[in-house]
DNA sequence: ACCTGAACACCGTTCAAGT
DNA sequence: ACCTGAACACCGTTCAAGT
């Protein structure tokens, strides 16, 4: 009575398949849903089967980070370091906007993944190729901070969430609870002006892309000035 | 046989006592150890007793963030906005260095806590008081990014962890595994120069405080230049 | 009315038993 | 030798039962 016809064999697991499924799971259900158990279920596999391909959950997370970082474009072949850095960072930003859970995952790691190191190393190389001293390249990388990875803490994204309760507030100019304006007048003022300046939609809020490039260019221009002045730390 | 002498009554729980104990627990055992169950045990209380004082774990975390943010010095009474901002950010940095787990907790929140909003609001007020337009103050806050809260992603802290395996590497100048230098030559070069420049201890690495102030001043000077030029966004 | 133990639905990971 | 189910030591939180 033994059945000859078997359940069709699943395409065999591989580290790549595990990591890709993890990225998809996190993209679709959020980072909190990325558990060994949920991932195993998505792959039609018993949880312990995953441990053949990743040592533990930390290594899984490191693996998915590297898959995502691998999506960042390589540096342009251009002699203008500023242009190369700018485009690379904007590429990184686009990647991390496609996978919004990755920024926090990167910051939660206590040790950077190989792909992160390679990315940072390549960026240092761009500065060095542009004539930067090791010293200046070093400090400039620090000054870039998380912006080098294409994200910065968008503090006002969160502030906007705090200020606006529902989507249909019936107070045209600000749409902020009066209590909010009382407690945080300066934030409220900024929010109102940002809404007014934008003719199209009231309360659309900040143009994230503009803010990002504003900050990026501010840094880049300051850096360029230091470079032209032959800045050196006195260490 | 009923005992008349009772176990001495614990000093009654209060939201303040719960939050303070949570800060202590996270400081001493790390953010991962901050669970409702561990916290209850530290307070000599059954886990469910905590829910009288905080609605759930998210509210607990929001509460401990606000306790810590409350440690930041108020702004100086000074007419020089640059000096006021600088000292305030350095105060915030000192606070977050005393509680290193808080930065990630802040970034993990999807909504900023009241104390964070008050802090940011006050900082906007400092710029406004210094004559900044709402527009410029707005964009400058974005440019500050997480630095406004006294932390930036210290990418090279992590890179250093990745490069150095043990405390007793027997290779004086770099103390980096040869493999690391091969794969990430630009990072390695920076690490070597940073070590050499510092006469005292080989491999001491970067001066975090110097890096932080370098980046901070770069931003502040760029901001000051914009302010003096009457910069305005063309929105 | 207040407090709380047990229970529920989850985790990551170990380990021994099964093939 | 390989795979895997059950088990262990945790979570946050619900809920009913106890005082």
Nearest nucleotide over every DNA/RNA strand to the A34 CA, judged by C1': C11
Tokens of B211: 């890096």
Mean pLDDT of chain A: 82
* DSSP-assigned states of every residue in A97-139: HHSTTHHHHHHH-SS--HHHHHHHHHHHHHHHHTT--HHHHHH
Give A85 CA → C11 C1' in Å: 41
pLDDT band, residue B38 (cuts 50/70/90): very high
pLDDT at A23 over 80: yes
Nearest nucleotide over every DNA/RNA strand to the A47 CA, judged by C1': D4
pLDDT at A141 over 70: yes
3-state secondary structure of B231: coil
Tokens of A92: 């990184």
Residue A18 sits at φ, ψ, to 5 deg, of -60, -45
- A14/chain B closest Cα distance in angstroms: 25
Q: What was the pLDDT predicted at A187?
A: 82
Ranked by mean pLDDT, the top range of A5-9, A160-164, A171-175 is A160-164
Give B152 CA → D1 C1' in Å: 50
Q: What was the pLDDT predicted at A98?
A: 95
Of the candidate ranges A96-105, B70-79, B142-151, B168-177, the one whose mean pLDDT is the lowest: B168-177
Average confidence (pLDDT) over A9-26:
88
pLDDT at B16 over 90: yes
pLDDT band, residue B155 (cuts 50/70/90): low
Q: What was the pLDDT predicted at B11?
A: 67
Q: What was the pLDDT predicted at A235?
A: 55
Residue B136 sits at φ, ψ, to 5 deg, of -65, -45
Average confidence (pLDDT) over A154-173:
46
Give B190 CA → D12 C1' in Å: 45
Nucleotides of chain D in contact with protein CB (under 7 A) are: 3-6, 10-15
Average confidence (pLDDT) over B139-152:
84
Q: Tell me: the pLDDT tens digits for A84-123?
A: 999 999 999 999 999 999 999 999 988 889 999 999 999 9
Ranked by mean pLDDT, the top range of A189-203, A218-232, B51-65, B191-205 is B51-65
Of the candidates A224, A213, A65, the one whose C-alpha atom is nearest the C-alpha of residue A136 is: A224
pLDDT at A20 over 70: yes
CB contact (8 A) between residue A190 and residue B124:
yes
What residue of B is the nearest CA neighbor of A151?
B145
- A38/chain B closest Cα distance in angstroms: 21
Q: What was the pLDDT predicted at B171?
A: 34
B84: CB partners within 8 A, 6+ apart:
B75, B76, B78, B126, B130
CB contact (8 A) between residue A159 and residue B120:
yes
Q: What was the pLDDT predicted at B158?
A: 52
Give A29 CA → D16 C1' in Å: 33
> Which residues numbered 204-223 in A keep a CB inside 8 Å of some CB on B?
206-207, 210-212, 214-215, 218-219, 221-223
By Cβ distance, the residue of B139, B147, B221 closest to A214 is B139
pLDDT at A154 over 80: no
Give A48 CA → C16 C1' in Å: 14
Q: Tell me: the pLDDT tens digits for B19-31?
A: 999 999 999 999 9
| CA distance linking residue A155 with residue B124, whole number of Å | 13
pLDDT at A18 over 60: yes
> Which residues numbered 110-169 in B keep a CB inside 8 Å of some CB on A?
110-112, 114, 117-118, 120-122, 124-125, 128, 134-135, 137-139, 141-143, 145-149, 152-156, 158-159, 161-162
Chain B residue numbers touching A120 (CB-CB < 8 A): 155, 159, 184, 187
Q: Say if residues B22 and B60 touch (Cβ distance below 8 Å).
A: yes
| CA distance linking residue A52 with residue B226, whole number of Å | 56
CB contact (8 A) between residue A186 and residue B118:
no
Q: Tell me: the pLDDT tens digits for B156-196?
A: 555 555 554 443 333 334 456 788 888 888 888 877 877 66
Q: Tell me: the pLDDT tens digits for A194-215?
A: 766 655 444 456 677 788 888 8
By Cβ distance, the residue of A110, A135, A161 closest to B110 is A161
pLDDT band, residue A71 (cuts 50/70/90): very high
Identify the residue with better confidence: B111 or A174: B111
pLDDT at B123 over 80: yes
Identify the residue with better confidence: B190 or B80: B80
Identify the residue with better confidence: A171 or B141: B141
Q: What was the pLDDT predicted at B198?
A: 56
Percent of chain B with pLDDT over 70: 79
Whose structure tokens read 């190393």?
Answer: A121
Chain A residue numbers touching B121 (CB-CB < 8 A): 183-187
């Amino acid at each position: 009575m033994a059945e000859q016809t078997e359940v069709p064999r699943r395409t065999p697991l591989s580290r790549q398949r595990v990591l890709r499924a993890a990225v998809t799971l996190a993209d679709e259900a959020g980072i909190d849903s990325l558990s060994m158990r949920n991932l195993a279920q998505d792959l039609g596999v018993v949880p312990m089967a995953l441990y053949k391909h990743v040592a533990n959950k930390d290594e899984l997370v490191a693996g998915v980070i590297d898959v995502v970082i691998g999506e960042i474009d390589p540096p342009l072949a251009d002699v203008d370091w500023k242009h190369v850095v700018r485009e690379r960072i904007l590429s990184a930003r686009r990647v991390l906007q496609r996978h919004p859970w990755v920024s926090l995952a990167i910051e939660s790691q206590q040790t950077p993944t190989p792909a992160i190191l390679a990315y940072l190393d390549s960026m240092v190389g761009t500065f060095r190729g542009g004539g930067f001293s090791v010293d200046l390249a070093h400090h400039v990388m620090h000054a870039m901070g998380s912006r080098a990875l294409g994200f910065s803490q968008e503090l006002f994204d969160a502030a906007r969430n705090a200020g606006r309760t529902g989507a249909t507030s019936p107070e045209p100019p600000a749409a902020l609870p009066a209590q909010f304006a009382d407690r945080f007048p300066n934030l409220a003022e900024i929010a109102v002006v940002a809404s007014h300046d934008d003719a199209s939609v009231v309360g659309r809020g900040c143009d994230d892309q503009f803010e990002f490039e504003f900050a990026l260019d501010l840094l880049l221009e300051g850096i360029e000035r230091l470079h032209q002045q032959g800045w050196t730390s006195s260490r």
